[in-house]
Amino acid sequence: MTELTKNKSVLAWIKDKIDLVKPDKIVWIDGSKEQIEALRAEACSTGELTKLNEEKLPDCYLHRTAVNDVARVEHRTFICTKTKEEAGPTNNWMEPDEAYKMLYDIARDSYKGRTMYVIPYSMGPVGSVFSKIGIELTDSIYVVLNMVIMTRAGKAVLEALGDSDDWVRGLHCRCEIDEEKRYICQFPQDNTIISVNSGYGGNVLLGKKCFALRIASYQGKNEGWQAEHMLILGLENPKGEVKYVCAAFPSACGKTNLAMLIPPESYRVKGYKVWCVGDDIAWIRKGEDGRLYAINPENGFFGVAPGTNIKSNPNALASTKSGTIFTNVALNLDDNTVWWEGLDKNPPEHAIDWKGNPWNGKTSEEKGAHPNSRFTAPAKNCPCVSDQFDSHTGVPISAFIFGGRRAKLAPLVYQSRDWNHGVFVGSIMASETTAAATGAVGVVRRDPMAMLPFCGYDMADYWQHWIDIGKTLDADKAPKIFNVNWFRKNDAGEFMWPGYGENLRVLEWIIKRCENKVDAEETAIGYVPKPEDINLEGIEDEVSKDALKEMLSVDNVLWQTETEGIEEFYQKFGDKLPAELRDCLDTLENNIK
Ligand code: GTP
Ligand code: SPV
Ligand code: MN
C-alpha cells in the first residue's frame, strides 16, 4: 500500500478500520486517469459494470444493484448524537456507543478477500473557504467510480488537508447487501458516517446526503452557515445580468430539471439563459458584502433517469453522453446503449431490464428501468454549466424557493411576507412521496425545506438556525423567499401547469418581485401573482386564463384543514418550536377564518 499522506489522524483511523474489516489489499485513490481506467476494466471483468457503446456513449458504463437495494432507506438511517433530544423528533436515533458496537459487529472481517479503497475527497472546490474534506473507505469499485464523478477526489485533497484532523470519516461496507442489516448511521459529533449492507446511491456515496447534508447541516449550525437540499441556478436576462436563486424541492420533485432548464422559445430569442451551478445541494454563507453566497459542494449529477428526455431536460440528457455511470436502467442489446421509461417512444425489443432479465420493451408489462434509476454524470458535461461552477466564493443569492408535489392546495407560486414568514413557508412544506426512498409513493407527508430525511439534528433547532441567520441580514440584502408547485392537478387528475422549461415564466415573476418591478395580490398565505403578470405568450393553448387563475387561487377551506396538519406536526417539537413560527401559524389561522 502506498499511503498518500503522512497525516497522523488519517493514518490512525484507517489503521483502526483495517484491523476491523481485514481487507486483502488497500488501494489509495489518487484521482489519476490511469487508475480510473484500471478500475473500470477490473469492474467490467467481474460483471460489476458493463461497458456501453464506445461510439455512442464514450466512457459510459451500466451497473445494476441488488433488487432489494434501489433507493435510500430512511427507516434504517440514524442520527447518532449523545442524546435523543439532539437528533429531534423527526430523526431515527441511536445511542452512539451502541451504534458503533452494532455496526462494528456487522463490519468485522467483511473486507476479507476484498480490496479496501481509500477515497480522499473534497466537497466544494479544493481550497475554498466553503469546502470540507472527507475520506471514504469502501469495498466497492462502483462507489469509487461514482465518488470520482460526484466529488473532487484524489491526491490534491490530501495535500490541502495537510496534518489537520478536520475531516469527515466515512466507512462503507457492502457486506451481504442484507436488508435486515442495512444501516446508514451519522455521528455528527464525531464527524463520522458508517454505512453497511447497501450498494446504492445516497446510501453509499457518503459525500452526498450523509456528509453534505446530514453532517454538514450540523457543522453549519455550529459554524454559522447552512447546508441545504437545494439546486442553484443563474438566470441571465437579455442585458446579460445574472441573478441566482436556490430552490429546495423533495427528492424526485424537479431540482435537476429546474437547474438546467431551457427557456421557452419566446424567451430564448430575447436572450434569456439559465446557468446551472448545482442540482441537489447548496452550502450557503454570508459574504463580505452582507449578502448570502452559495456553492454546490458536488462535482457531478446523480440524476433521476426516468422522464429525462430531449424535450423535458435536454441538458441533463447531454450531460450523460460521456463519462457517465447508469444505475438500474435497461440495456439495449441491439446497440449496447441504455433506455428508460420516458426517454423516447421507441423502447428496445431486445433488452435486459434493470433486474438483469431479458426484456422486450414493446410487449412487456414490466418496467425496463427502475423508477429511481439514475445517471452519474460529470457536471462539466452539462451544456449550461455556469462559469461560476468552480468559484471559491460562490454566487450571490437573490431568492430561496421552496416547493413540492401538491395535487391541490399550494398555488403555482407565492411569496412570503418577510424572512421569518419565509422560514415558516419552508417549515410547512409537504409533498407526495416519490420512488427516491423506499416505502409508499404518492402519500402526502410534511417535508420541511425538503430536509426531513437529511437534517443532522433537531428540526426545531434547524428552523431556529434559519431565523438566526435572518437576524444577521439587512432587509435589502436578505434573499426573498417563495414557494412553488408545478404539480397542481385538475379534477381529471392532469397536471395543470406544463412545467419544465415553462417554469421560467414563474422564475421571471420571482426575479421581478426581488427587483420590486411587479405588484402582487396579498392573500391569507402571502403574495400571489396577479394572473396578468404571469406571461402565457406561446402557451395560451395549453394554459387558459381561467386555469391560471385557478392555479393561483388560495382555497381558505383547504388551508383550514392544512393548518390542522401543521398544528399536529408542530406539536412534535414541543416548546422547542421557535416562537416566530408559532406566531406565523396563528396569523395564518386568523387569515383564513
Ligand atoms: P433528486 O435527485 O431525487 O433530489 O430529485 P430532483 O429534485 O432533482 O428531481 P428531478 O429534476 O430529477 O425530477 C424528478 C421527476 O419529476 C422527473 O422525472 C419528472 O418526471 C418530474 N418533473 C420535474 N420537473 C417537473 C415539472 O416541472 N412538472 C412536472 N409535471 N414534472 C416534473
Ligand atoms: C435524493 O434522494 O434526494 C437524491 C438521490 O438526490 S440520493 O443520492 O440517493 O439521495
Ligand atoms: Mn436529492
DSSP string, 259-320: HTPPPPHHHHTTT-EEEEEESS-EEEEE-TTSSEEEE---SEEEEE-TT--TTT-HHHHHHT
Q: Nearest-CA neighbor of 351 among 363, 302, 17?
A: 363
Q: Based on the structure, what is the number of domains in the chain?
A: 3
> What is the Å distance from ligand 1's center to 334 Cα?
29
Among the candidates 223, 255, 286, a domain finishes at 223
Q: Indicate the residue type of 209.
A: K
| Residues 286 and 305 grouped into a single domain | no
Q: Which domain holds residue 312?
A: 300-381
Among the candidates 381, 410, 432, a domain finishes at 381
Q: Which of 80, 173, 175, 253 is catalytic?
A: 253
| Residues 191 and 265 grouped into a single domain | no
Q: How confident is the model at residue 46 (pLDDT cuts 50, 70, 90)?
A: very high
Closest residue by CA, ligand 1 atom 21? 254
Closest residue by CA, ligand 2 atom 8? 202
| Residues 280 and 352 grouped into a single domain | no
Which helix (H) or strand (E) is 135 found in, with range? strand 132-138
Three-class SS of 433-497: CCCCECCCCCCEEECHHHCCCCCCCCHHHHHHHHHHHHHCCCCCCCCEEEEECCCCECCCCCECC
The ligand with the least distance to the CA atom of 254 is 1
Asked about 584 being catalytic, the answer comes back as: no
Establish if 563 belongs to a structural domain: yes
| Residues 119 and 209 grouped into a single domain | yes
Beta bridge partners of 396: 293
Residues 6+ apart with CB under 8 A from 83: none
| Residues 435 and 322 grouped into a single domain | no
Task: Round to whole Å and give the CA distance between 458 and 437.
Answer: 21
User: Cell numbers of 357, please?
Assistant: 432479465
Whether the per-residue pLDDT at 567 is higher than 90: the answer is: yes
Establish if 60 belongs to a structural domain: no
Average the pLDDT over 455-463 and give the result: 98
Question: Which residue in this structure is represented by grid cell 442585458?
Answer: 239
> What is the Å distance from ligand 1's center to 260 Cα?
11
pTM for the structure as a whole: 0.98
Question: Which residue in this structure is represented by grid cell 464527524?
Answer: 191
Establish if 512 belongs to a structural domain: yes
Count the alpha carbons within 13 Å of 44 in the hemisphere toward its beta carbon. Answer: 14
At residue 514, the pLDDT reads 98
| Residues 361 and 403 grouped into a single domain | no
Pairing of strands 430-432, 226-228: unpaired
Closest residue by CA, ligand 1 atom 13? 254
> What is the Å distance from ligand 2's center to 254 Cα?
12
User: Cell numbers of 197, please?
Assistant: 449492507
CATH number, domain with residue 545: 3.90.228.20
Establish if 371 belongs to a structural domain: yes
| Residues 335 and 440 grouped into a single domain | no
User: Cell numbers of 221, please?
Assistant: 449550525
Assess whether the C-beta atom of 251 lies below 6 angstroms from ligand 2: yes
Average the pLDDT over 484-501 and give the result: 96
For residue range 268-327, list pLDDT tens digits in order: 999 999 999 999 999 999 999 999 999 999 999 999 999 999 999 999 999 999 999 999
Ligand 1 atom closest to Cα of residue 503: 27
Pocket of ligand 1 (CB under 6 A): 249, 251-257, 279-280, 303-304, 306-307, 436, 486-487, 495, 499-500, 503
Establish if 376 belongs to a structural domain: yes
Task: Round to whole Å and give the CA distance between 469 and 429.
Answer: 20
At residue 166, the pLDDT reads 98
Task: Round to whole Å and give the CA distance between 546 and 218.
Answer: 46
Closest residue by CA, ligand 1 atom 20? 307
Average the pLDDT over 566-589 and give the result: 98
At residue 300, the pLDDT reads 98
At residue 58, the pLDDT reads 98
Assess whether the C-beta atom of 201 lies below 6 angstroms from ligand 2: yes
Establish if 405 belongs to a structural domain: yes
Assess whether the C-beta atom of 404 lies below 6 angstroms from ligand 2: no
Closest residue by CA, ligand 2 atom 5? 202
Assess whether the C-beta atom of 480 lies below 6 angstroms from ligand 2: no
| Residues 112 and 251 grouped into a single domain | no
Establish if 2 belongs to a structural domain: no
User: Cell numbers of 479, please?
Assistant: 434573499
Q: How confident is the model at residue 2 (pLDDT cuts 50, 70, 90)?
A: confident
Among the candidates 334, 359, 381, a domain finishes at 381
Average the pLDDT over 523-552 and give the result: 97
| Residues 144 and 217 grouped into a single domain | yes
| Residues 213 and 234 grouped into a single domain | no
CATH number, domain with residue 193: 3.40.449.10
Establish if 571 belongs to a structural domain: yes
Residues around the ion ligand 3 (C-beta < 5 A): 251, 280
CATH number, domain with residue 356: 2.170.8.10
Whether the per-residue pLDDT at 1 is higher than 80: the answer is: no
Whether the per-residue pLDDT at 354 is higher than 70: the answer is: yes
Ligand 2 atom closest to Cα of residue 251: 3
User: Cell numbers of 149, please?
Assistant: 464523478
Average the pLDDT over 394-420 and give the result: 97
| Residues 89 and 175 grouped into a single domain | yes
For residue range 469-485, list pLDDT tens digits in order: 999 999 999 999 999 99
Write the burial class of residue 12 (CB in 10 Å: 0-12 exposed, 13-18 middle, 19+ buried).
exposed
Long-range contacts of 347-351 (CB under 8 A, 24+ apart): none
| Residues 162 and 271 grouped into a single domain | no
